[in-house]
Chains A and B, each alone.
Chain A
Amino acid sequence: MKNLIITIVSLLFSTLFYKQNMGLNMLLFAIISVIFLMIFNLEKFKEKATILKSIIYIFTSLFVFIQPNNLTIFTSIVSFILLVGTVSEAKSAIYVTLLNGMYSSIVAVFSHYFDKVSTEIEQVKKQKTNYGFWLKIIGIPLLVLTIFIGLYRNANPVFDELIGKIDVSFINFQWLIFTAMAFYLFSNISKPITIEPVTSTDLKTPNYLIKDNLKTVSNEKLKTENQLGIILTILLNILITVVLITDYLYLNSDINMDNVGQFSERVHQGIYALIASIIFAIGIIIYFFRGNLNFYKHNQVLKSATYIWIFLNILLVFTTVLKNQMYVVNFGFTYKRIGVYVYLLLVFIGLIFTFIKVHRIKNITYLFRKNLQVTFGVLVIASVINWDTIITNFNLNKVRNSRIDVPYLLNLQDNITILKSYKSNHTEKYNAIHLNNYPEKIDQKYTDYIESLGNNSWQEMVYDNFNN
């Protein structure tokens, strides 16, 4: 029964994906996968976490149908892995769930097979079919026969013609391999497994530090470490204050925006360096508050200096946002500039969690768990937003005409209807700007887009198929 279900689902998978682009098929696959997982793991679907992950998976796959692009496809695949991992163990941290999901999807069948073979061999000296015997009985005659058929075909033209009439071209081997891979995937996820001892260790690990579990450190050593921490943090606070003052002066100075290359380079280099420094700062805080120093009686000064440092780092995040904002206002959005915002958002959240970690004596596992949860949340939200539309609308409406990078806009995937509409409706306004230097390209891209929509098979259908 199990194999029959897996075979049917594999055939459906082939029908949906064999030589097809992504679209409606991802959404249908998500629904099929959830039903499939439910059939074999009904108990697991009584847990809230599994239901939530199923909804997220179907939701993210819906957005592959609405706006198929690399980000939505990637998010949908990550959600699938996360769902499989949740079915294997719902209570583990997100990174362990991802590992379990990957492991289950990739090799669960082999792991089950290994366990079965090992158990059988360990338990009994079981009588077993001699595969070597069967290989000799079937394999050797088959090989010899094949060689002789080849030889006789070369020697006898009539025999060659007779054998040549045997046509196996009706069998599509590529399709067979594809379906076999699907069968393998569904066999894997039918019974998801966990990686041990990582999963059990994770389940046992709380989010907070337990004093009794820490290695005993002498008071003298703690005192020295506390002093080192105080000196280092105060010096870093002074340094970051100076950086913030110079940043303030820079932001209030008369910045020459006409030299695009120079400004761009300065902003990019500055932003990367700042992000790296903030991550480094989190690392230093984690180092000092990794263990016993959290429970040290005289750690108030270090804690206060750390809180100030976290606060100043948050200010640094905001000044970096302002710099990026200046760049965006003057030259428009690009994926890279949006990426900077996303990094800064994640760094900001990371700093908040670092504050909570120090304040409430949490452990490093807590930081990993929370930050990765937030990262996944941001990924899901980011995949829901149609960035191409936002970038195009913003750049065409808010950026000075001479600075609009039309070739960049033309390279985006999902904005041709906006470009076409602008070209038609704003002829006068855009007569003098770059957009009208590319009328043929816009027309060509629009024609190609409409043609590709028309050529979509039912598996590849996207939202625009119903909208145009």
Chain B
Amino acid sequence: MDVLKTTIKSAFLSSSILSAFLLTEESRFTIDMIGIFLFIFMIMFVISLLMIIVTILPIYEIHRHTKSKKEIFHRFFPYYAIIISLVCFWFSSSSYFMKIEFGMAVTTFFTAIMAWVWLFSPAEKTVKKPF
């Protein structure tokens, strides 16, 4: 299970989604946006790491000796997805779907879901080709 690789991917994904929400009000590109993106990336890296360690890794650690990664995914991912979606929906609705809060909820949801897919996919044994 490659936690660091997944964390980097998650941080990049969450930064991209959150930046899309935060920066889309600007109609023109400014140099500050790159700085903002890098800042968001750093924060998201820490948050993603914590989220993976606290909410996903324990499930894997408890069942790793009795079940395969695929089995763990199919057994627990549905409930995790339902709970995280309810939490995100509650967070958005309690803030009356304000743009920033809604953006954070959407970011959290998609990042958590993709983190599961990345963490539990079997290791690739592919021969990569450029085209």
Contact = CB atoms under 8 A, between A and B. Distances in A.
Interface of A: 99, 102-103, 106-107, 110-111, 113-114, 117-118, 121-122, 125-130, 132-133, 143, 146-147, 149-151, 153-154, 163-164, 166-169, 173-174, 177, 181, 195-197
B9 to A, nearest CB: 11
A177 to B, nearest CB: 7
A128 B128 CA distance: 5
9 contacts: A118-B70, A121-B126, A128-B128, A129-B128, A150-B31, A154-B31, A167-B27, A174-B24, A181-B106
A151 B34 CA distance: 12
Contact of B131 (A114, A129, A153, A169): A129
A126 B31 contact: no
Given A151-B31, A173-B20, A128 B82 contact: no
- The list of the 5 closest CB pairs from A to B, nearest first, reads A150-B31, A173-B24, A169-B27, A130-B128, A195-B78
B31 A118 contact: no
B82 A102 contact: yes
B46 interface: no
B17 to A, nearest CB: 9
Contacts of A163: 28-29
B28 A125 contact: no
A56 B75 CA distance: 31
Contacts of B70: 118
A150 B32 CA distance: 9
Contacts of A129: 128-129, 131
Given A146-B29, A150-B30, A166-B28, A103 B117 contact: no
Contact of A125 (B31, B73, B82, B127): B127
Contacts of A110: 81, 113-114, 116-117
B130 A111 contact: no
A103 B81 contact: yes
A168 B29 CA distance: 9
A50 B25 CA distance: 43
Given A111-B78, A147-B31, A150-B31, 8 more contacts: A106-B85, A107-B77, A114-B120, A128-B128, A129-B128, A130-B130, A167-B28, A177-B20
B28 A128 contact: no
A117 B28 contact: no
Given A102-B82, A102-B85, A121 B121 contact: yes
Interface string B102-128: 000010000001101100111111111
A121 B27 contact: no
B74 interface: yes
A95 to B, nearest CB: 12
A160 B72 CA distance: 54
A130 B31 contact: no
Interface residues of B, number: 38
A168 B121 CA distance: 38
The CB with the most chain B CB atoms within 10 A, among A107, A126, A168, A177, is that of: A107
A153 B21 contact: no
A169 B129 CA distance: 39
Interface string B1-43: 0000000000000000000110011011111001000000000
A449 B67 CA distance: 60
B121 A118 contact: yes
B27 A117 contact: no
Contacts of B122: 118, 121-122
Nearest to B81: A107
Given A102-B85, A127-B127, A128-B126, A147 B27 contact: no
Contacts of B120: 114
Nearest to A132: B128
B27 A125 contact: no
A150 B34 contact: yes
A248 B25 CA distance: 67
B129 A128 contact: yes
Nearest to B129: A127
Contact of A117 (B99, B106, B117, B130): B117
A99 B117 contact: no
Contacts of B127: 125, 127-128
Nearest to A194: B78
A107 B126 contact: no
B53 to A, nearest CB: 21
A167 B28 CA distance: 7
The CB with the most chain A CB atoms within 10 A, among B24, B78, B121, is that of: B78
A114 B28 contact: no
Contacts of A173: 20, 24-25
A146 B34 contact: yes
Contacts of B128: 127-130, 132-133
Contacts of B31: 147, 150-151, 153-154
Given A106-B85, A167-B28, A169-B27, A111 B77 contact: yes
A151 B30 CA distance: 10
A151 B120 CA distance: 42
B28 A106 contact: no
